[in-house]
Chain A
Amino acid sequence: MALIEIKNVKKQYTSGDDVVEALRGVDISIEAGEFITIMGQSGSGKSTLLSVLGGMNHPTVGDVEMAGEKVYQLSGEKLADFRAQNLGFVFQSFHLIPYLTAIENVMLPLAIVKMNTAAKQTAARRALERVGLGAKLDRLPNQLSGGEQERVAIARAIVNNPHILLADEPTGNLDSKTSEEVMALFRELNDAGQTVVMVTHNPENGAYSDRTINLKDGMVVNA
Chain B
Amino acid sequence: MKLHNISINNLKRRKAKMAFLTIGLMVGIATIVTLVTLTHSMSSDIERKMDEFGANILITPQSNGLSMNYGGISLGGVTFDQREIQESELAKIKTIKNSKNVSAVSPKVLGGVKIGSHDVLLVGVHFDSELKMKQWWKLFGDAPKTDNELLLGSDAAKVLNVSTGDTLQIKGESFTVAGILDQTGSQDDSLVFASLPKAQKLLGKEGKITLAEVAALCSGCPIGDMVTQIAEKLPDAKVSAIQQVVEGRLKALDQFKRFSYAMAGVVVFIGSLIVFVTMMGSVNERTTEIGVFRAIGFRKSHIMQIILLEAALVSLLAGFLGYAAGMGGAKLALPFMAESKNAHLVWDSTVAFGSIGLALTLGILASLYPALHASKMDPTEALRAL
Contacts from A to B (Cβ < 8 Å): 47, 50-51, 54, 56-57, 76-77, 80-85, 87-89, 91-93, 95, 97-100, 104, 107-112, 117, 120, 124, 156, 168-169
Contact = CB atoms under 8 A, between A and B. Distances in A.
Nearest to B291: A95
Contacts of A168: 385-386
Given A100-B9, A104-B9, A120 B1 contact: yes
Contact of A91 (B14, B299, B300, B383): B383
A80 B3 contact: no
A55 B292 CA distance: 13
A83 B297 contact: yes
Contacts, number: 95
Interface string B270-304: 00000000000000000011011111111111100
B5 A111 contact: yes
A76 B300 contact: yes
Given A104-B5, A109-B297, 12 more contacts: A57-B386, A76-B300, A77-B301, A80-B294, A83-B295, A91-B383, A95-B385, A104-B9, A110-B1, A111-B1, A112-B297, A124-B1
Given A107-B1, A112-B3, A81 B297 contact: yes
Contact of B380 (A56, A77, A97, A99): A56
B294 A111 contact: no
A156 B9 CA distance: 18
Contact of B296 (A76, A99, A108, A120): A108
Contacts of A100: 6, 9
Nearest to B302: A112
Contacts of A109: 296-297
A54 B295 contact: yes
A95 B383 contact: yes
Contacts of A81: 297, 299
B1 A99 contact: no
Q: Most chain-B CB neighbours within 10 Å: which of A83, A95, A169?
A: A95
Given A83-B295, A110-B1, A112-B302, A54 B9 contact: no
A99 B3 contact: no
Contacts of A91: 292, 295, 383, 385-386
Which 9 pairs, one residue from A and one from B, show the smallest C-beta to C-beta distance?
A: A84-B297, A99-B13, A107-B1, A83-B297, A51-B386, A92-B385, A99-B9, A56-B379, A111-B1
B380 A95 contact: no
Contact of A85 (B293, B297, B302): B297
Contacts of A85: 297
Contacts of B14: 99
Name which of B3, B12, B289 has the most chain A CB atoms within 10 A of its CB: B289
Contacts of A95: 288-289, 291-292, 383, 385
A93, A108, A111, A117 — most chain B CB neighbours (10 Å): A111
A197 to B, nearest CB: 13
Contacts of B380: 51, 56-57
Given A56-B295, A89-B295, A168-B385, A108 B300 contact: no
Nearest to B294: A80
Interface in B328-386: 378-380, 383, 385-386
Secondary structure call for the B interface:
helix
A118 to B, nearest CB: 11
A201 B48 CA distance: 83
Give the secondary structure class of A's interface: helix
B228 interface: no
A76 B289 CA distance: 19
Task: Identify which of B292, B297, B301, B380 gathers the most chain A CB atoms within 10 Å of its CB.
Answer: B297
Contacts of A108: 1, 6, 292-293, 296
A100 B306 CA distance: 14
A97 B289 contact: yes
Contacts of A107: 1
Contacts of B383: 91, 95
B82 interface: no
A87 B298 CA distance: 12
Given A50-B386, A91-B385, A83 B296 contact: yes
Contacts of A98: 13
A108 B296 CA distance: 8
A47 B9 contact: no
B386 A84 contact: no
Contacts of A77: 299-301
5 contacts: A77-B301, A82-B297, A107-B1, A109-B297, A110-B1
Contacts of B302: 111-112
Interface in B1-53: 1-3, 5-6, 9-10, 12-14
B385 to A, nearest CB: 5
Given A109-B296, A111-B2, A47 B386 contact: yes
Nearest to B298: A112
B343 to A, nearest CB: 48
A107 B385 CA distance: 23
A80 B297 contact: yes
Contacts of B288: 95
A221 to B, nearest CB: 22
Contacts of A169: 385
B379 to A, nearest CB: 5
A169 B12 CA distance: 32
A54 B296 CA distance: 9
B6 A47 contact: no
Which of A56, A76, A81, A88 is the most central at the interface, judged by chain B CB atoms within 10 Å of its CB?
Answer: A56
